[in-house]
């Protein structure tokens, strides 16, 4: 049975955030709120967490995991950025965008795309997600919480708890996150390619 933590969506309680981070450091897989849908999260070195995410969402080995970052400095350690990419991405973060870029050696090989050696990164604009990331002090391996065979995501923490009670270790309820995923921008060719139009305005790229 998953632990349920009711966290204030705009002023998250430090005590509860510390409990979430302690669970992550102990190998937990969590469901948590972001600025575009709920997401699944585990530490980067949590091999079992990555496999559990794949099983829950029925993902294959070609799926781009997202590395959720607390700030741009953290993001810059994970991916290669030229000057144009740096300026465009920095201007759009934090926000509901996922950027696919060439991974640096800091990213475990098993988490990058097998052929492209690329990875998705983003900085969420959500107080609860950012509080968890800052407290953890490292990026979070993440994937949007859209269950297989469903058209719409779960938008409330209590719904996530009912659906995933036996599949995750904790559910962080931060209120309604909406139903729109991130806008995905692929920079691996050197030019921005909009892979998915979502919550973020694609016209800026």
Quote the pLDDT of residue 138.
Answer: 96
The pLDDT assigned to 68 comes to 97
**Among all chains, which residue has been given the structure tokens 């510390």?**
18
Q: SS3 of 21, please?
A: helix
Structural domain span for residue 56: 3-204
**pLDDT on residue 203:** 92
CATH code assigned at 137: 3.90.870.10
Domain total in the chain: 1
CA dist., res. 172 & res. 53, Å (int):
16
- What is residue 110's predicted lDDT score, i.e. its pLDDT? 84
Kind and range of the H or E run holding 11: none
Q: Are 35 and 62 in contact (CB under 8 A)?
A: no
- Whole-number pLDDT of residue 140: 97
Closest C-alpha to 88, from 162, 199, 193, 196: 193
pLDDT in the model for residue 162: 93
- pLDDT (0 to 100) of residue 109: 85
Given this model, what pLDDT does residue 63 score? Answer: 74
**Torsion of Cα atoms, 161 then 13 then 95 then 107, to 10°:** -80
What is the per-residue pLDDT for 154?
Answer: 82
The Cα–Cα gap between 54 and 73 comes to: 28
The reply to whether omega before 97 is within 30° of 0 (cis) is no
Element at 86 (helix H, strand E): helix 83-92
Rounded to an integer, what distance in angstroms lies between the CA atom of residue 45 and that of residue 25?
Answer: 10
Q: Note the maximum CA span of the chain.
A: 47
Residue 48: what pLDDT?
Answer: 94
Q: Distance between CA 101 and CA 96 in Å, rounded?
A: 16
Q: Report pLDDT digits (tens) over 84-112.
A: 999 999 999 999 999 999 999 999 888 88
Residue ranges of the chain with pLDDT lower than 70? none
């Amino acid at each position: 049975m998953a632990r349920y933590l009711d966290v204030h969506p705009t002023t998250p309680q430090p005590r509860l955030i510390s409990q979430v981070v302690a669970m992550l450091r102990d190998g937990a897989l969590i469901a948590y709120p972001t600025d575009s849908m709920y997401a699944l999260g585990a530490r980067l070195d949590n091999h079992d967490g990555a496999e559990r995410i794949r099983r829950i969402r029925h993902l294959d080995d070609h799926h781009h995991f997202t590395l959720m970052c607390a700030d741009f400095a953290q993001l810059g350690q994970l991916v290669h950025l030229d000057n144009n990419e740096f300026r465009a991405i920095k201007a759009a973060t934090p926000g509901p965008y996922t950027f696919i870029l060439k991974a640096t050696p800091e990213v475990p090989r098993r988490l990058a795309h097998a052929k492209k050696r690329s990875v998705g990164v983003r900085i969420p604009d959500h107080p609860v997600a950012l509080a968890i990331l800052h407290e953890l002090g490292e990026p979070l391996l993440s994937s949007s919480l859209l269950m297989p065979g469903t058209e719409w995501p779960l938008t409330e923490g209590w719904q996530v708890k009912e659906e995933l009670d036996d599949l995750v270790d904790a559910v962080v309820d931060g209120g309604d996150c909406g139903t729109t995923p991130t806008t995905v921008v692929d920079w691996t060719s050197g030019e921005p390619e909009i892979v998915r139009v979502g919550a973020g305005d694609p016209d800026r790229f």
